[in-house]
């Protein structure tokens, strides 16, 4: 493999890995903040115990998001330096803003939250976890604004003298319609992720408590978290669906090739159907038989089920006329299947919401062993939906690193192959191996700790929580 | 002042923020096995930086992203050129960050010893490599007409680069020892200050040699000021350590780090990455910069946000500016090594 392929694998592995942890951080920070607010407002000790329990899990996860995030920023320069030269004028700005507005906020206040339990007043301490929640959500906005530029460049011109893209409007960049659609989709998906996580663990504990007379009292502790998570899951789930639909409509206009690839739609069709699954070869030779719901793709893309949706073959011809000879198809199988897997895994979270609401109706609690198992098994589903969704949107952008804007300056575009650094394949291979091994090791440690802390359950409150003496040892310490 | 010059200075400020703040974090990490004789002592040391190390590290992220936004060509050439050195730094920062968070989560000596190793390695490597990197940036590295670095990792490991690395390594160890003297109580505090006094001698020799070499080979007339300030600061820090005046000593090592950045950035200007191949291929504040509009936007963002960040970060320092002793550390901490059978309640 050459440096380009290795750099692509490395970007895929490190980004997907980073994005395993980040959505949970984004969603869990506000949920922990809500739990702590509930304790602050009601004085109900169950909320304090839940805050500390899910707060510990949040921190185990937060650390992974932080350390893998540094790699992301360095990687653009290390592996994609020609891309960085081409777009640095535009792309660097949201990254720097992310650091100044979001990373400082979340990193400083997470320290205050961890160590501030007995150093700050309850009100100020509560404010610190909200600052963390705001910080992580803000950071998502800036990085998505940066990514949206790669999907749909706006606020930019091409300078033929320097051969570089130049920023013309920061407000256009930050209000890129692609970003305004992708940001709420990511945030709501993150809420679904965190809510599934909380509901899964709390649901499992409720069943366990109900079936074990010794720990019957424990079930009552988890109930408020379980209900909170179900509400967040429902709201988030509806939000994901609505924002996903908006994104599909934008994608139809902005990246028709990605749309066609997502549907494995080889030939232009009026009233194109939504393919449920494909039989045979969903590869680049465009020979597929699919089982589809008539008119659904056309409807999702445009709101009109008789509308015409362009197929891969016609788009390819169009692109070649516009951008010169070349292959402008993303890998159809990857795009097609990841799109379906994203939707499927996302729908599994909704299943948990429905089951949970059914079991807790009119003050009830789940006690069926199978439900406890299902609750745990469903926890990975939204993580897989996030990962497949991310792979879909990034692989669907190929072969572009900056996809051309159909209504913008067509000179502002770059093929992924043109963006790679001039470093040797051996160098990239070295770092690919190092990161993969290190990340695999850390994943094992992360999972072990998460599992360990989740299975120990809610802990009794330390004496320091009752009396706020200044001489007491730190209640949260490394 | 031209906006490109302003951004060059601002990046210097961001690096000062990073090296002064994470400098003592690295020092604390390095000294963990030296000063921490048992687990409780090591936990005291780690907890002195526990609440702040993550916020300190953001200065690096912002310096990196600021370079990307203001001088994309510098960012692209530097990061692709110093590839393997940066890879080592990244690995170090990853294991170190995870180690801080995970070390205390399990109450088991083997678990903790392993993470201690991660903290030490994760602190020594970047402390050394940032010095190597900056020395090489100032001295110039092979860069061709297409702004591509044409050397290897070994290109960076020349005597001047290694001396730069030893300078940051020893300086951060001294800085960290003084920080610990300022933030701990009792026996730990005394040992930290005594260690600082001992460290100050080799640090002064190494850093002094590096400063003079830098000045003679690459400096400008006015950068002599930075050399003198650094030298006086180092001598003063050693004296302060011997007299157990930790605050003065820590303030002086902070000033030494500022002077070092001023010396390096002052020697560089107006280049950002000189080429040892041909001066015509130098990357400068002009040919590596973003457009005027981008710099204006970023200047506004930096002008509005930097004071706010400084305000709340200072506040977090103030909240935790209380000396820690072994009495502040709760026994055990984390989950027991063997999972409990019955749920704890």
Here the ipTM equals 0.92
Interface test with B, best of A18, A50, A76, A93 (most B CBs within 10 A): A93
DSSP annotation of B143 reads: B
User: In whole angstroms, what is the distance from residue A424 CA to residue B254 CA?
Assistant: 39
Query: pTM for this structure?
Result: 0.92
- pLDDT, tens digit, 9 for 90 and up, residues A442-453: 999 999 999 999
Q: Does the CA dihedral B279-B281-B286-B289 come out positive or negative?
A: negative
- pLDDT, tens digit, 9 for 90 and up, residues B208-260: 999 999 999 999 999 999 999 999 999 999 999 999 999 999 999 999 999 99
Mean pLDDT of B187-200: 96
Q: Cis omega before residue A399 (within 30°)?
A: yes
- pLDDT, tens digit, 9 for 90 and up, residues A7-24: 999 999 999 999 999 999
* Closest to B298 in 3D by CA, of A379, A328, A160, A100: A100
Q: Is the pLDDT of residue A466 over 60?
A: no
Residue A278 backbone phi and psi in degrees, to 5: -110, 145
Chain B, 264-283: which have a CB under 8 Å from a chain A CB?
none
Cα–Cα distances in angstroms (integers) from residue B119 to residues A408, B124, B227, in the given order: 49, 9, 32
Q: Is the pLDDT of residue B264 over 70?
A: yes
Residue B145 forms contact with A (CB below 8 Å): no
Mean pLDDT of A304-327: 87
Interface test with B, best of A4, A62, A74, A124 (most B CBs within 10 A): A74
* Residue A364 CB burial class (10 angstroms; 0-12, 13-18, ≥19): exposed
CA-nearest residue to B329 within chain A is A473
Contact A74 B43 (CB under 8 A): no
User: In whole angstroms, what is the distance from residue A399 CA to residue A258 CA?
Assistant: 11
Q: Which residues of A are less than 8 Å from B67 in CB distance?
A: 92
- pLDDT, tens digit, 9 for 90 and up, residues A224-242: 999 999 999 999 999 999 9
Q: Is the pLDDT of residue B345 over 50?
A: no
> Beta strands B283-284 and A287-293: pairing type?
unpaired
Which residues touch B317 (CB under 8 Å, ≥6 apart)? Answer: B52
| Residue B13 β-bridge partners | none
User: In whole angstroms, what is the distance from residue A207 CA to residue A166 CA?
Assistant: 58
Mean pLDDT of B310-327: 92
* Residue B331 CB burial class (10 angstroms; 0-12, 13-18, ≥19): exposed
Mean pLDDT of A269-273: 78
Size of interface A-B (CB pairs under 8 A): 260
Q: Is the pLDDT of residue A177 over 50?
A: yes
Rg value, chain A, Cα: 24
User: In whole angstroms, what is the distance from residue B329 CA to residue B336 CA?
Assistant: 16
3-state helix, strand, coil in chain B (%, to 5): 75, 5, 20
Q: Residue A286 has which token pair?
A: 């465009």
User: In whole angstroms, what is the distance from residue B317 CA to residue B336 CA?
Assistant: 32
Element (H, E) at A369: helix A369-377
Nearest CB partner across the interface for B43, out of A159, A170, A477: A477
A90 in Cβ contact with B66 (< 8 Å) = no
CA-nearest residue to B331 within chain A is A473
Give me chain B's average pLDDT, please: 93
DSSP annotation of A214 reads: G
Q: What is the pLDDT of residue A107?
A: 95
Q: Which residues of A are less than 8 Å from B147 in CB distance?
A: 85
More confident residue, A472 or A372: A372
B72 in Cβ contact with A27 (< 8 Å) = no
- pLDDT, tens digit, 9 for 90 and up, residues B128-175: 999 999 999 999 999 999 999 999 889 999 999 999 999 999 999 999
């Amino acid at each position: 493999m050459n440096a380009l392929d290795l750099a692509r694998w490395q970007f895929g592995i490190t980004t997907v890995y980073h994005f395993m942890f980040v959505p949970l951080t984004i969603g869990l920070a506000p949920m922990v903040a809500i739990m702590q607010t509930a304790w602050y407002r009601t004085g109900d000790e169950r909320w304090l115990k839940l805050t500390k329990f899910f707060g510990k899990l949040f921190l185990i996860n937060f650390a992974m998001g932080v350390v893998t995030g540094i790699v992301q920023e360095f990687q653009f320069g290390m592996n994609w330096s020609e891309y960085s030269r081409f777009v640095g004028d535009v792309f660097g700005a949201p990254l720097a803003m992310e650091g100044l507005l979001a990373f400082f906020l979340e990193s400083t206040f997470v320290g205050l939250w961890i160590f501030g339990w007995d150093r700050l007043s309850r009100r100020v301490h509560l404010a610190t976890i909200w600052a963390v929640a705001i910080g992580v959500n803000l950071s998502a906005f800036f990085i998505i604004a940066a990514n949206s530029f790669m999907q749909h460049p706006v606020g930019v011109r091409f300078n033929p003298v320097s051969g570089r893209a130049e920023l013309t409007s920061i407000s256009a960049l930050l209000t890129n319609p692609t970003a305004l659609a992708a940001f709420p989709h990511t945030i709501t998906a993150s809420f679904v992720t965190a809510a599934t996580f909380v509901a899964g663990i709390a649901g499992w504990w409720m069943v366990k408590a109900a079936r074990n007379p010794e720990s019957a009292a424990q079930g009552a502790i988890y109930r408020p978290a379980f209900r909170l998570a179900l509400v967040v899951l429902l709201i988030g789930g509806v939000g994901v669906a609505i924002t996903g639909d908006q994104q599909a409509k934008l994608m139809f206009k902005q990246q028709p090739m990605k749309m066609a690839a997502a549907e494995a739609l080889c030939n232009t069709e009026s009233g194109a159907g939504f393919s449920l699954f494909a039989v045979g070869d969903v590869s680049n030779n465009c020979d597929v038989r699919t089982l589809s719901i008539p008119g659904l793709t056309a409807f999702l893309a445009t709101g009109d089920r008789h509308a015409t949706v362009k197929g891969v073959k016609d788009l390819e011809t169009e692109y070649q006329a516009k951008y010169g000879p070349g292959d402008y198809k993303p890998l159809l199988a990857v795009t097609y299947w990841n799109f379906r897997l994203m939707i499927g895994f996302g729908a599994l979270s909704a299943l948990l919401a429905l089951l949970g609401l059914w079991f807790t109706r009119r003050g009830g609690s789940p006690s069926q062993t199978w439900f406890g198992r299902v609750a745990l098994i469903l926890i990975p589903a939204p993580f897989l939906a996030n990962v497949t969704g991310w792979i879909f949107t990034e692989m669907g952008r190929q072969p572009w690193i900056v996809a051309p804007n159909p209504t913008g300056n067509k000179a502002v575009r770059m093929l992924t192959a043109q963006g790679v650094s001039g470093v040797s394949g051996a160098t990239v291979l070295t770092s690919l191996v190092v990161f993969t091994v290190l990340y695999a090791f850390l994943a094992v440690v992360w999972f072990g700790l998460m599992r360990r802390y989740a299975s120990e359950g809610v802990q009794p409150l330390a004496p320091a929580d009752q009396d706020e003496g200044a001489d007491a040892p730190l209640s949260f310490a490394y | 002042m031209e906006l490109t010059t302003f951004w060059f200075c601002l990046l210097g400020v961001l690096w000062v923020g990073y090296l002064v703040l994470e400098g003592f974090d690295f020092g604390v990490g390095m000294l963990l096995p030296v000063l921490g004789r048992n687990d409780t002592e090591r936990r005291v040391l780690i907890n002195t930086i526990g609440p702040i190390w993550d916020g300190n590290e953001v200065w690096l992220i912002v310096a990196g992203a600021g370079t990307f936004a203001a001088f994309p060509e510098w960012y692209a050439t530097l990061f692709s050129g110093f590839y393997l050195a940066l890879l080592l730094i990244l690995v170090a920062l990853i294991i170190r960050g995870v180690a801080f968070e995970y070390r205390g989560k399990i109450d088991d000596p083997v678990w903790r010893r392993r993470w201690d190793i991660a903290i030490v390695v994760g602190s020594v490597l970047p402390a050394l490599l940032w010095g190597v990197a900056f020395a090489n940036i100032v001295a110039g590295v092979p860069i061709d007409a297409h702004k591509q670095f044409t050397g290897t990792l070994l290109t960076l490991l020349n005597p001047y680069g290694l001396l730069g690395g030893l300078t940051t390594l020893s300086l951060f160890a001294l800085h960290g020892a003084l920080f610990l003297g300022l933030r701990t109580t009792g026996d730990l505090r005394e040992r930290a200050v005594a260690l600082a006094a001992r460290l100050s001698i080799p640090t002064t020799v190494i850093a002094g040699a590096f400063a003079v070499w830098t000045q003679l080979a690459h400096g400008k007339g006015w950068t002599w000021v930075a050399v003198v300030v650094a030298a006086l600061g180092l001598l003063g820090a050693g004296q302060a350590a011997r007299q157990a005046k930790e605050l003065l000593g820590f303030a002086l090592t902070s000033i030494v780090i500022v002077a070092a950045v001023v010396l390096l950035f002052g020697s560089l200007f107006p280049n950002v990455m000189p080429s040892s191949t041909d001066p015509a291929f130098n990357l400068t504040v002009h040919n590596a910069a973003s457009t005027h509009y981008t710099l204006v936007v970023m200047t506004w963002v930096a002008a509005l946000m930097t004071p706010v960040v400084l305000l709340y970060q200072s506040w977090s320092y103030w909240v935790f500016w209380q000396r820690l002793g072994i009495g502040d550390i709760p026994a055990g901490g984390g989950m027991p090594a063997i999972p409990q059978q019955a749920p704890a309640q």
